[in-house]
Structure 1
Amino acid sequence: MPLPTIIIPGYLESAIAYQQLAALLAKSGFPTITVPLRRRDWFPLIGGRTVAPIIQQLNHTVKQALQEHNATQVNLIGHSAGGWISRIYLGEKPYPATGKLQSLWNAHSSVATLITLGTPHISQERWTRWNLDFVNNNYPGAFYKNVRYVCVAGKTIYGERRRGSWLAYSSYQQTCGIGNTWGDGITPITSAHLAGAENLTIEGVKHSPRSPGIWYGSPEALKNWVEYLS
């Protein structure tokens, strides 16, 4: 029986943006729930602050799915920042929350597969550097051997200092230090892949569900990675 699947929205995204993806996954036989985030839930975290409030909502959604489906494990699909947030959730090291409080989820035994879509697993951006350093220093690469890591990148826009490619160039440079490279328009391929994971690259997909055209969760792109949920 397919495991319940949880979608974790990307930075500043709300659950509503993933309705089509959730419906497509359900149609493919995977019962799917999106962490019920609203865009304003992200506002207190702007500037590189702790993402513990987001992980608390993720944890609540996972517990709910396990109970509703009488399951012992779930699959996670993290879009953009939702991918590295999921890696914190898997972990067994105390994560600084607010003030002197620390949070610990140690959820890796409850997760069968983690699929990340356009996730910047490395970044030089100052507002995400602290969190990503915590992730990569404590849980480098595909850290937990009992979890299947699948990292999906997009090869769509080559970053250049010219009209139509400037945003990609700037975003890639801030993320991996090189602007002249391929990516999904926001995340460069080199940052979206993870050492030791099953790394995929899909041509023609854009970063966000709000982008015009095809994104990671569109039917044309979904067929490239949905099999990894089985």
Structure 2
Amino acid sequence: MPLPTVILPGYFESAKSYQKLEQSLKEIGFPAVTVPLGRRDWIPTLGGRSFINILQKLDQTVKNVLFEFNVPQINLIGHSAGGWISRIYLGELPYSGRGNDKSLLCNGHKLVANLITLGTPHFSQERWTRRTIDFVNQNYPGAFYKDVNYICVAGKTVFGNKKLGSWLAYNSYLLTCGKGNTWGDGITPIEAAHLEGAQNIVIEDVRHSPKSPQRWYGSPDILSTWANYLS
């Protein structure tokens, strides 16, 4: 039986947005649980403040799943910001973040077999998240832990341009990697969604958000391109 999978939502997303992904994974034989986040749980992180509360909920979910399934490890899926927050969770250094006088040490790499990131901006120039993302990349660059398989999935769907239909993508890419005229999933450019040393994948015609009316990373017909890494 495959290891159970924990899904960490993207920024300001709730667990409800990932119910279909969770169900689709279960239907193809991969037991899955989403970290029980609501939109309110993200409020303490606004303005570049600490993500400790999100990490605590992730840590508790992982421990609950390990106990429930009686296994030594889990697979971890991080969507969007959930990907780089997951990289903090793997780490061996205390994390506090801005505006928090407490620190948290997760050391989660011992508990994670595979980390799959979906449309994650692994680096960014955006002022509110840059402090935390820089913490991740300075301390855990690339596919840092050799005992964890890193799989980074990017979308090639929208080319950023200063014109109707691709203006949002242009500005989002520009804010992330300093270049608007590039390919991405409409929010995250390909070059930011990959990590050195990881298994890097590009999927065409997938949108960033699970709420998109079009296909996104978790759509049933897209799962086959990355779900095999959960085996």
Check whether TM > 0.5.
yes
Partner of 1:37: 37
- The whole-number CA distance in structure 1 between the counterparts of 2:116 and 2:153 is 7
Partner of 1:79: 79
Partner of 2:192: 191
Partner of 1:218: 219
- The whole-number CA distance in structure 2 between the counterparts of 1:118 and 1:101 is 30
Q: What SS is found at the alignment partner of 1:95? A: coil
- The whole-number CA distance in structure 2 between the counterparts of 1:126 and 1:198 is 28
Superposed CA deviations along residues 168-207 of structure 1, whole A, max 9, x for unmatched, are 0000000000000000000000000011000000000000
Partner of 1:227: 228
Q: Name the count of aligned residue pairs.
A: 230
Partner of 2:7: 7
Deviation at 1:99, TM superposition (A): 3.5
Partner of 1:161: 162
Q: What SS is found at the alignment partner of 1:227? A: helix
Deviation at 1:220, TM superposition (A): 1.7
Partner of 1:20: 20
Partner of 1:112: 113
Partner of 1:49: 49
**Deviation larger for 167-176 or 216-225:** 216-225
Look up the equivalent residue of 2:222 and give its one-letter code.
Answer: A
- The whole-number CA distance in structure 2 between the counterparts of 1:158 and 1:52 is 34
Partner of 2:69: 69
| Off by >2 Å, runs of 4+ in structure 1 | 97-100
Q: What SS is found at the alignment partner of 1:47? A: helix
Partner of 2:151: 150
List runs of 5+ in structure 2 lacking aligned partners.
Answer: none
Q: What SS is found at the alignment partner of 1:130? A: helix
Look up the equivalent residue of 2:206 and give its one-letter code.
Answer: V
- The whole-number CA distance in structure 2 between the counterparts of 1:118 and 1:220 is 17
- The whole-number CA distance in structure 2 between the counterparts of 1:6 and 1:96 is 23
Q: What SS is found at the alignment partner of 1:103? A: coil
Mapping of 1:123-142 within 5 angstroms? 123-142=124-143
Partner of 2:205: 204
Look up the equivalent residue of 1:29 and give its one-letter code.
Answer: G
Q: What SS is found at the alignment partner of 1:96? A: coil
Deviation at 1:100, TM superposition (A): 2.7
Look up the equivalent residue of 2:149 and give its one-letter code.
Answer: R
Superposed CA deviations along residues 112-141 of structure 1, whole A, max 9, x for unmatched, are 000000000010000110000000000000
Look up the equivalent residue of 2:7 and give its one-letter code.
Answer: I
List runs of 5+ in structure 1 lacking aligned partners.
Answer: none
Deviation at 1:96, TM superposition (A): 1.1
Deviation at 1:226, TM superposition (A): 0.4
Q: What SS is found at the alignment partner of 1:187? A: coil
How large is the RMSD of aligned CA atoms in angstroms? 0.7
- The whole-number CA distance in structure 2 between the counterparts of 1:72 and 1:83 is 21
Deviation at 1:54, TM superposition (A): 0.2
Deviation at 1:46, TM superposition (A): 1.0
Look up the equivalent residue of 2:130 and give its one-letter code.
Answer: R
Q: What SS is found at the alignment partner of 2:123? A: coil
Q: What SS is found at the alignment partner of 1:68? A: helix
